[in-house]
Amino acid sequence: MKLLVATHNQGKLAEYRTLLVAWPLEFVSLSDVGIEHDVEETGETFEANAQLKAEQYGAMTGLLTLADDSGLAVDALDGRPGVYSARYGTPDLDDAGRRHLLLKELEGVPREQRTAHFICVIALHDPRQPDKKVTHFVAGQCDGHITTQDHDAGQGFGYDAIFQPDDQTQTFGELPQDIKHALSHRGRAAAKLPEIMALVVSE
């Protein structure tokens, strides 16, 4: 069975292949099925955006579709960047630029006030059963804090290099991948996927 992971992000696709290695599925990305269109993320919550992507890309392809919306919520910034994590700041910023912006906004904020949370909501939608228009959800969260400098180690993506999980001495960008997957918001959400996969298969 093909599972469309609704992303162009090869880092994210690789993570899902690793996280769901036990499942007998052929993982394909949007690029693999020739979709260049980006569904507009107009939702105000992670769940709403995940649902939009899962249902719209599922309708386009007819494939069982997994979509997630995830982001970083920083307490000292009233939850920002939140659902805007991937497009925080000006449109010309890349991952490094967004990390720099976030660190700039937190200048002078002490460690105990730099608490943050990586949040992920995964939506699974099966368009092959149009009479059952149901989308299933799981969620995961990882708590930690924002470091005072960028620890870019050449791995990870997004805000990984400035987020240090609780009880760890390294950032997501520095931790070995197996440890990161076990701790991460996406890993914790993905660990719950068998629950909703079973629901889809049984429908």
Looking at the annotation, which residues are catalytic?
69
- Strands 135-146 and 115-125: what pairing? antiparallel
Residue 188 contacts by C-beta under 8 Å, 6 or more apart in sequence?
120, 140, 141, 142
Residue pointed to by tokens 């069982």: 64
166 burial level (CB within 10 Å; 0-12, 13-18, 19+): exposed
120: which 2 tokens? 């992920």
Local structure of 152: helix, strand or coil: coil
